[in-house]
Amino acid sequence: MSNVHPAFEAITSAEIESLGVRVEEYRHRRTGAQHLHIAADNPENVFLVALRTVPHDSTGVAHILEHTALCGSDKYPVRDPFFMMIRRSLNTFMNAFTSSDWTAYPFASQNRKDFDNLLDVYLDAVFFARLDPLDFAQEGHRLEFAESDNPDSDLVFKGVVFNEMKGAMSSVTSQLWQKLSKYLFPTTTYHFNSGGEPADIPDLTYEQLVNFYRTHYHPSNAIFMTFGDIEAAEHQAVFEEKALHKFDQLHQKIEVGREKLYVSPVRVEESYPLSNDEGQQEKTHIVLGWLLGDVTDLEQSLTAHLLSGVLLDNSASPLMHLLETTELGQSPSPLCGLDDSQRELVFVCGIEGSERERADELEQAVLKVLQDVAENGAPYEQVAAALHQLELQQREIGGDGYPYGLQLILTALTGATHRGDAIGLLNIDSALEKLREQIKDPDFIAGAARKLLLENQHRVRLVLSPDADMASRAEQAEKSQLAAIREKLSDGEKQQVIQTAKALAERQQRKDDESILPKVGVEDIPPELPKVEGEQVAINHSKVTRYSAGTNGLVYQQLVTTLPEFSDEERILLPYYCQSLSELGLGEKNYLEVQQWQAAVAGSLHSFTSQRTDLDNLNSQTGHFILSGKALAANQAALSELMQATMEQVRFDELPRIKELLLQTLARREQSVVGNGHALAMAAASAGFNRAAADGHESGGLQGLRQLKALVKTLDSTQGLEILAGKFSSIHQKINNAGRQFLLIGEEEKLAEFTEAMAPLANGKETASNRDDAPFAPRKVQEVWVANSQVNFCAKAYPTVPMTHADAPALAVLGGFLRNGYLHRTIREQGGAYGGGASHDANIGAFRFYSYRDPRMGETLKDFDASVEWLLNEAHEDQQVEEAILGVVGGMDKPGSPAGEAKKAFHSALYGRTHAVRQEFRRKVTEVTLADLQRVGKTYLQADKANTAVVTGNQGRDAGLALDLHEEKL
């Protein structure tokens, strides 16, 4: 183990060869705080401190405390140190999370000075938070008069978390999980919504928040976790000096108890709000959930994961096959699978797009499948394939979403939270080896199915049905509650509401002394953008670009073709062709046999398209089709064979399967609207500028969702399916006729062997360039899209310039400048939205404002305009420009996984965004001045050039129409 600081004692350590790390566990002698350090030869150091938080109601106390703790501390008594540090930092990750039984504060940075700065601020925020009542009012909830200084006007609830959770609980998937948890966990903390139910959040008092902080935010209840090349003892010295030496042991053990188990299955019905506009038919969700035991029992947990994989991994898995093909519903539930994020494992399966009266039939069908597995087990090849997928997940080095170190930390956190073997959750090689032996016994999976599911009486069947009036009832209940509160307010209490609102507004406008916070500056930016270099070789007259990378025994490869010319109809169908390609039969094999083939040899196989405009011309774009796969190195030749069969033998004659896939896609896209509303609104607002922007709205945006709905309606007849299959076949033939090139990523000593195995994929055809220069007629966009949402997502967009234009660097910096200096305060703090900001997309030439989970609409759109006035007419400081520059450069320099970095380098170069081009852009970003920002703001952000789009619910429709927005129906 590393040297240990005297304030700590070493507990245990383990080398984990498959991850290339050493994990060390320590305990703080005085308080009992745990420190888990993952030592790695990686300059991206990660810190996280987690507190076990166990709420006993749905007021959102843990969630609101997470927000409020970041609003000022003893050492840093400024109003907003968290968001201030985001812009004074070169962090690669910075956030805070509230889970169902822990709250965590993580960050990552590649710069040691920056890491030390952030660590100082985070430790003070967590252990010495000021918890100002006004911050509680801002972040949690408060009462205000609709006309802020008029006590005769209506009362309204405001608060960031209040509106965040209104948005979160607009998601049917979130409601489904919360309602299932309510019954699966009748007695423990998971019974409640840790994020907060909007109806319950106003019940939380400031005193309750402070009391929760005093017991839960104590080092005795804390887990410190670190990753990277800084030694554990160095971290411990900082923990001790900055925080721990000020505390004694807290003799109060905070933990989640074991759930009281049912003696027989429970069947319940609940409702969710759905507007009449969407229709109520076939909108019911039916799910079955089980508790499978303690998550800290590694062997039991892996057995449950393996059983879940055998049952649900792919379309050939028996339970997934039932859920995909049953006529009782449209597609499998989004909750299907095993959840291991809580004290006890949860297994869920079910369907959506059903009717409540089909629940008995579905339950019997599921139990019949489980009975069959319990009696007959599963074919060894199927079990081995599921175990293969578990091994792939264990070996793969991530880092393309979260930093890799944070992924490992979060994996271990579940074990640490419940005082189990956190290291064991990372070091699973020996447990996997044991499973390899156990699955040779034909009764192993059968026995697991019997014990964990079939004979397990702690089972809940939830039927969640739509209710057309539920949203209006909830809205009316809130209004009635507010009216009753207002009726009881004395004149003095009304004045107190007005005074609190005024005090908060004054606090939000106050200019804090930011100089007390540490910072990095432009001088700390590394001079060079990180560079990943590959080499090009030829196989059968086709180009292979290959990268040597530390992939921990995995290989990644892609077949790439230039997109040929397509008709408008084919272009619309392209995303659905791509989604179907790797999900259909091949040659003599049907799709079920192919699914098993894929599970046995590949970690994933999927296709997609990408398109980018020219570096200097927004009206010309190039696109590519990509078939992408990954596998263990030992299976690389088999992966190449599978990819070849996919391109040469795909069967478009499996018509029911094609319909099934499109129904599943439609269900997922509909569910994603309220989670991704800001991006969808920005895409809609930009769609009138050029072909590239319109394509984005059409392929992945709201226009595409509307087209998919129309397409699905044509599939009820065999003729409609045959026509669609014929169009897919035509698209496939065009792609197969295009020349191919390849991307290959693996460990250096294997690259030559891998390249040789890919030779049969080369078709010997010349790779041609095919630019889309079709004329495009720009159009004005003023739209309101009505979805199933309780909150708004607002966007404004302005046409701008491509990446190599002289103004592009300043436009990139301007987004952060407006967010940091104006939009964060007006949209989030004052307006109550969960988020808001601005950014420049040089690929489509659009500067875009957005808000996320926003209670307002017209006022937010005015705030977008007001930010431009603020830019042009107010006095600003050079430091504000520097902070915005740091944000752009930090985003460009943010590392991904070894494979992800190679993919990024290849695909950037494919569209002319070479390292040299990106390096030059980055250099110009660092030279942007305030004058540049004001110049581009004045040039491009002109009111008459703005396009507007809003995603809202029924409650916001009239407000949108009153703003002269045209209603667009999904």
- Give the tens place of pLDDT for each residue, 529-559: 889 999 999 998 899 999 999 888 899 999 9
Confidence of residue 417 (pLDDT cuts 50, 70, 90): very high
Of 819, 841, 846, 831, the C-alpha closest to 792 is 831
Per DSSP, what are the bridge partners of residue 291? Answer: 346
Concatenated DSSP letters of 493-549: HHHHHHHHHHHHHHHHH----GGGS----GGGS-SS------EEEEETTEEEEEEE-
In the block, residue with structure tokens 């016994």: 441
Half-sphere exposure of residue 44, counting CA atoms within 13 Å on the CB side? Answer: 24
More confident: 448 or 393? 448
pLDDT tens, residue by residue, 83-127: 899 999 999 999 999 999 999 999 999 999 999 999 999 999 999
CA–CA distance, 343 with 257 (Å, rounded to integer): 8
764: pLDDT strictly greater than 80: no
CA–CA distance, 37 with 405 (Å, rounded to integer): 10
| Main-chain dihedrals φ then ψ at residue 735, nearest 5 degrees | -65, -35
Query: Which residues have CB under 8 Å from 14's CB, separation 6+?
Result: 22, 23, 423, 427
Concatenated DSSP letters of 446-498: HHHHIIIIIT---EEEEEEEEETTHHHHHHHHHHHHHHHHHHH--HHHHHHHH
Q: Which two tokens stand for residue 277?
A: 């506009």
CA–CA distance, 947 with 380 (Å, rounded to integer): 58
706: pLDDT strictly greater than 80: yes
Of 597, 497, 641, 539, the C-alpha closest to 137 is 497
In the block, residue with structure tokens 């001088």: 523
* Averaged pLDDT score across all residues of the chain: 94
377: pLDDT strictly greater than 80: yes
- At 424 the three-state DSSP class reads helix
- At 677 the three-state DSSP class reads helix
pLDDT the model gives residue 774: 81
More confident: 511 or 683? 683
Of 755, 766, 737, the C-alpha closest to 648 is 737
pLDDT the model gives residue 647: 97
1: pLDDT strictly greater than 70: no
Using a pLDDT cut of 70, give the percent of the chain over it. Answer: 99
pLDDT the model gives residue 576: 96
pLDDT tens, residue by residue, 567-601: 999 999 999 999 999 999 999 999 999 999 999 99
Q: How many other C-beta atoms are found inside a 10 Å radius of the C-beta of residue 122?
A: 26
- Mean pLDDT across the stretch 928-939? 98
354: pLDDT strictly greater than 80: yes
Of 790, 144, 58, the C-alpha closest to 472 is 790
Confidence of residue 775 (pLDDT cuts 50, 70, 90): confident
Query: Which residues have CB under 8 Å from 890's CB, separation 6+?
Result: 89, 90, 91, 92
pLDDT the model gives residue 396: 84
* Residue 53 · residue 184 · CB < 8 Å: no
Confidence of residue 394 (pLDDT cuts 50, 70, 90): confident
- Mean pLDDT across the stretch 340-348? 95
- At 72 the three-state DSSP class reads coil
Distances in Å between the alpha carbon of 471 and those of 271, 276, 789?
Answer: 11, 11, 10
CA–CA distance, 895 with 128 (Å, rounded to integer): 32
In the block, residue with structure tokens 């996280």: 48
pLDDT tens, residue by residue, 453-484: 999 999 999 999 999 888 889 889 999 999 99
Q: Fold identical between 8-247+495-516 and 535-772?
A: yes
* Residue 313 · residue 378 · CB < 8 Å: no
pLDDT the model gives residue 338: 96
* Residue 43 · residue 110 · CB < 8 Å: yes
Long-range Cβ contacts of 357-364 (<8 Å, 24+ apart): 358/284, 358/286, 358/328, 358/329, 359/267, 359/286, 359/461, 359/463, 361/328, 362/286, 362/326, 362/328, 362/329, 363/286, 363/288, 363/461
pLDDT tens, residue by residue, 26-82: 999 999 999 999 999 999 999 999 999 999 999 999 999 999 999 999 999 998 899
pLDDT the model gives residue 771: 78
2: pLDDT strictly greater than 80: no
169: pLDDT strictly greater than 90: no
Residue 598 identity (one-letter amino acid): Q
Q: Give Dmax over CA atoms of the chain in angstroms.
A: 86
Query: Which residues have CB under 8 Å from 304's CB, separation 6+?
Result: 292, 293, 338, 340, 345, 347, 448, 452
pLDDT the model gives residue 925: 97
In the block, residue with structure tokens 């070789």: 537
- Mean pLDDT across the stretch 615-628? 95
Angle at 359 between CA 357 and CA 361, to 5 degrees: 100
| SS3 per residue for 793-857 | EEEEEEECCCCCCCCHHHHHHHHHHHHHHHHHHHHHHHCCCCEEEEEEECCCCEEEEEEECECCC
Distances in Å between the alpha carbon of 223 and those of 49, 149, 245, 448, 561?
Answer: 6, 46, 16, 33, 49
CA–CA distance, 580 with 584 (Å, rounded to integer): 6
Sign of CA dihedral 393, 396, 398, 400: negative
* Residue 377 · residue 444 · CB < 8 Å: yes
Superfamily of domain 535-772: Metalloenzyme, LuxS/M16 peptidase-like (3.30.830.10)
pLDDT the model gives residue 277: 64
Distances in Å between the alpha carbon of 114 and those of 94, 107, 193, 241, 271?
Answer: 12, 11, 35, 18, 48
Every domain of the chain and the residues it spans: 8-247+495-516, 535-772
| Helix H or strand E segment including 772 | strand 771-772
* Residue 494 · residue 330 · CB < 8 Å: no
Q: What is the CATH number of domain 8-247+495-516?
A: 3.30.830.10
CA–CA distance, 128 with 73 (Å, rounded to integer): 5
CA–CA distance, 33 with 223 (Å, rounded to integer): 6
- Mean pLDDT across the stretch 391-406? 84
pLDDT the model gives residue 543: 94
